[in-house]
Every structure is written in C-alpha cells, then in structure tokens.
Amino acid sequence: MNVILLLTELQNIDLASNENARTRAETRAKLADTAQLTAARVALESGATQHTELESALRALELETGGLAEKLAQVNERLYSGRITNAKELAGLNEDEKMLQRRKGELEDRALALMEQIEHAAADVNQKHATYERSAAETQTRQEHAQAALRELDASDTELERKRAALRAQLDANTLRAYDHLRAAKKGRAVALIKNSACGQCGFAVPSGLMSRAKVGSELVFCVNCERILAP
Ligand SMILES: [Zn+2]
C-alpha cells in the first residue's frame, strides 16, 4: 500500500471539499443579495407616491377652481341683474369680479403645470415599473441558478465525503494524525508534490535519498524545510 499516494489523493479530496465550501458561501451570499430588486422597488414606490401626491394636488386645485367659479357666477349674477343701482356697490362688485377672474386665471395656470407634471410622473412610474419587473425576473433567474448550484454542491460533497471516508479507512491512525496536523498547520496543504527535485510548495531541494523513499511510499517522508509530506 502506497501511503503517500493515498494521502495525495486524500488531500485532493479535502481541497475539493474546501473549494466547495467556498463556492457554497459565495452562492448563499448571491441568494441573499436582493439589493438590486429592493432598490428598484423603493424607486418604484417613491415614484408612485409622487404621482399620487400630484394627482391629489390637482384634485384640490379643481375643487378650489369650482368654488371660485361659483363665487364668480354669483358676483356676475348680481352685477348684471339690474337689481343693484348703487354706484359704489356696483364698483365694489366690479372689483370683486376682476379679482376672482385673476385668481381663476392663476389657478388654471397652476392646473396646467400640474397636469404636465402628472404626465411626467406617470411616465416615470411606468419606466420604474418596467425596471422593477426586469429586476424581479433577473433576480428569480439568478436565484434558480444559485439553487441548482447548491444542489450540485450537495451532490458533490456527498460523493467527496464517500471517497474521503474510503481513503481514510485505508490509512493508519498515526499517518492520519500527521496528515491532519499538517493540514491544519499548512493552510490545507499537508502534502507537497516533488517538482524538478524540489518541494513543490516551498521550493527547497529534495535530497535523492528522500526522493526514492517518497517513491516507494511505504513510510512518510517530509520536506526538510517546510515539513510537508513529500509525494512523488
Ligand atoms: Zn517544502
């Protein structure tokens, strides 16, 4: 049994498992990130509120205009009824009529301006609604992809765990202890492949004696510099 080959395989599986954990965390973060959709909803709501407020303002203006028109009709009725003959009173009514006409003109101008604003606000709401819908569809697609990716990760982890258990069952307790200890101490890389007669992790030259023992693989051989297990 080549212990070093088994450990190399075990490390590959553990590294793949770490990578899965990292991908899983990223995917979960993507799932939780609905900032874009929230922003689109907030923008839509604020646009809709503005539109509603402008329409309320227009209705209030229309009520005021209605009241004014009524007053104006009354003044005109009295002015041209022929019932009032007092010159001073007639002059007063004339003044009232002018004042009311001026006010009516002002209100009509404001109503026109408001209607224009309402038109713009309505277009803005339509646009924001479209943006929101688009964002909702994108978010849904993204979430479906993320869910599918998580299911794939689950399947991959199950398979890795099965292989990991099978490999560890073939290794003795001392070997596993050495591997686990180095893995924890060396950021997940307990085994270093020998490349060009040097440790693949730290680059330190591997003496030929160690190299041949690593090839046999019946015992653990360690890099004299970084202390990792050397694998051919
Ligand atoms: Zn080394």
Give 98-137 pLDDT, tens digit per residue: 999 999 999 999 999 999 999 999 999 999 999 999 999 9
Q: Is 110 helix (H, G, I), strand (E, B) or coil?
A: helix
- 196 has pLDDT over 80: yes
pLDDT of the residue at 176: 97
Taking 90 as the threshold, does the pLDDT of residue 164 lie above it? yes
Amino acid at site 91: A
CA of 207 to the centre of ligand 1 (A): 12
pLDDT tens readout for residues 45-88? 999 999 999 999 999 999 999 999 999 999 999 999 989 889 99
Cβ atoms within 10 A of the Cβ of 157, count?
Answer: 16
Per-residue confidence band for 1, with pLDDT thresholds at 50, 70 and 90: confident
Q: What is the mean pLDDT of residues 209-231?
A: 95
Does the CA dihedral 187-192-195-201 come out positive or negative?
positive
193 phi and psi angles, rounded to 5 deg: -75, 140
The amino acid at residue 120 is: H
CA of residue 84 to ligand 1 center, whole Å: 115
Q: What is the mean pLDDT of the chain?
A: 96
Gap from CA of 156 to ligand 1 centroid (Å):
31
Question: Ligand 1 centre from 178 Cα, in Å?
Answer: 15
Task: For residues 193 and 4, give the distance between their C-alpha atoms in angstroms, rounded to a whole number.
Answer: 10
pLDDT cut 70: percent of the chain above it: 100
Given a cut of 90, is residue 94 above it in pLDDT? Answer: yes
Residue 70 C-beta-side C-alpha neighbours within 13 Å: 6
206 Cα: distance to centroid of ligand 1 (angstroms): 8
Q: For the chain, what are the domain ranges? A: 1-24+172-232, 34-155
CA of 74 to the centre of ligand 1 (A): 103
Q: Report d(CA 195, CA 206) in Å as an integer.
A: 9
Q: How far does the centroid of ligand 1 lie from the alpha carbon of residue 13, in Å?
A: 21
3-state helix, strand, coil in the chain (%, to 5): 80, 5, 15
Q: How many angstroms separate the alpha carbon of residue 205 from the centre of ligand 1?
A: 8
Q: Which CATH class is domain 34-155?
A: mainly alpha
Beta carbons within 8 Å of 31's beta carbon, 6+ residues apart: 143, 146, 147, 150
Distance 229 CA to ligand 1 centre (A): 8
Question: What count of other Cβ atoms lies within 10 Å of the Cβ of residue 216?
Answer: 12
30-34, 44-48, 118-122, 181-185: range with lowest mean pLDDT? 30-34
Give me 67's structure tokens: 């009241």
Tell me the C-alpha distance between 123 and 117, whole Å. 10
90: Cβ contacts below 8 Å, ≥ 6 apart: 79, 84
User: Which pLDDT belongs to residue 108?
Assistant: 95
